[in-house]
Structures are given as structure tokens and as C-alpha cells.
Amino acid sequence: MIIEIKKRPMTKETILLIKVTPQASKNEIIYLEGETLKVRLSVVPEKGKANKALIQLLSKKLKISQSQITIVQGQTSRNKKVSIAMEPLELKERLNTLLKD
């Protein structure tokens, strides 16, 4: 599976589009729909709990530090733009591996 990831010019950060479904039975990365990664989170979307859970999930699954992940848009929305401090090709490989499982 090939995915497109938008890279910020002159940086080693990649912007990833994510759609979050809160109050799910468990935290999981589900699939890629177009350019948007679908994620389920078990927490309620209040007081930043879902955002924190999203960063923790991405950190664990991508095997990177939480400080390398920033929500740049959509802090109070299900649709988010997340900046990940990683080269686009490396991120693409890691996501493709996750989505194959």
C-alpha cells in the first residue's frame, strides 16, 4: 500500500491527516482512506484526553518519542493535521508496515 504524505518544505517534518473516532472499545490505527489515516481511541474527547491518547498511540506504534508528534490543526475536531518529526519515506514505510498487520 502506497500513501501520500505531505512534507513541509525545508524541514524533516511530515504532516499526516488523521480522522479520530473517540469512545471506541480500544486504541488502534484502523486503515488509510485516501490520504487520511483512521484512528480509534477509547477515551472521551474532553479536556485534551483524546489528543493525548492519539499522541501516545502514534508514538508507540511508530516507535518514536511523543515530543516528535504535534497536533498542528484540529485540537477540538475529529479531523486533525499532525506533524511528525520524520522523513516522509520513513514514515510511509512504518505506516505501511502497521497497516499490513
**What's the pLDDT at 7?**
57
Confidence of residue 13 (pLDDT cuts 50, 70, 90): confident
d(CA 44, CA 61): 21
Residue 34 lies inside a defined structural domain of this protein: yes
Residue 94 lies inside a defined structural domain of this protein: no
Tell me how far apart the terminal alpha carbons of the chain are, to the nearest angstrom.
Answer: 12
**What's the pLDDT at 4?**
53
Tens digits of residue pLDDT in 58-93 = 999 999 999 999 999 999 999 999 999 998 889 888
Query: The domain that contains 21 carries what CATH number?
Result: 3.30.1200.10
The mean-pLDDT minimum among 17-21, 81-85, 92-96 falls in 92-96
Q: Where in the sequence is the domain holding 73, given as residue range(s)?
A: 6-89
Q: Which of 65, 69, 38, 63 is nearest to 51 (CA)?
A: 69
Strand segments (E) across 1-101: 6-7, 14-21, 28-33, 36-40, 69-73, 79-84
Total number of domains constituting the chain: 1
**What's the pLDDT at 101?**
67
Residue 71 lies inside a defined structural domain of this protein: yes
Residue 21 lies inside a defined structural domain of this protein: yes
Is the per-residue pLDDT at 100 higher than 90?
Answer: no
Report the Cα 23 to chain-centroid distance in Å.
17
Is the per-residue pLDDT at 43 higher than 80?
Answer: yes
Contact 66, 57 (CB under 8 A): no
- Within 8 A by CB and 6+ apart from 3, the residues are 32, 35, 92, 95, 96
Residue 40 lies inside a defined structural domain of this protein: yes
**What's the pLDDT at 1?**
41
Q: What is the pTM of this model?
A: 0.86
Residue 18 lies inside a defined structural domain of this protein: yes
Assigned C-alpha cell, 63: 516507535
Residue 77 lies inside a defined structural domain of this protein: yes
Residue 97 lies inside a defined structural domain of this protein: no
Distance of CA 78 to CAs 5, 50, 93, Å?
19, 9, 25
Average pLDDT over residues 4-22: 77
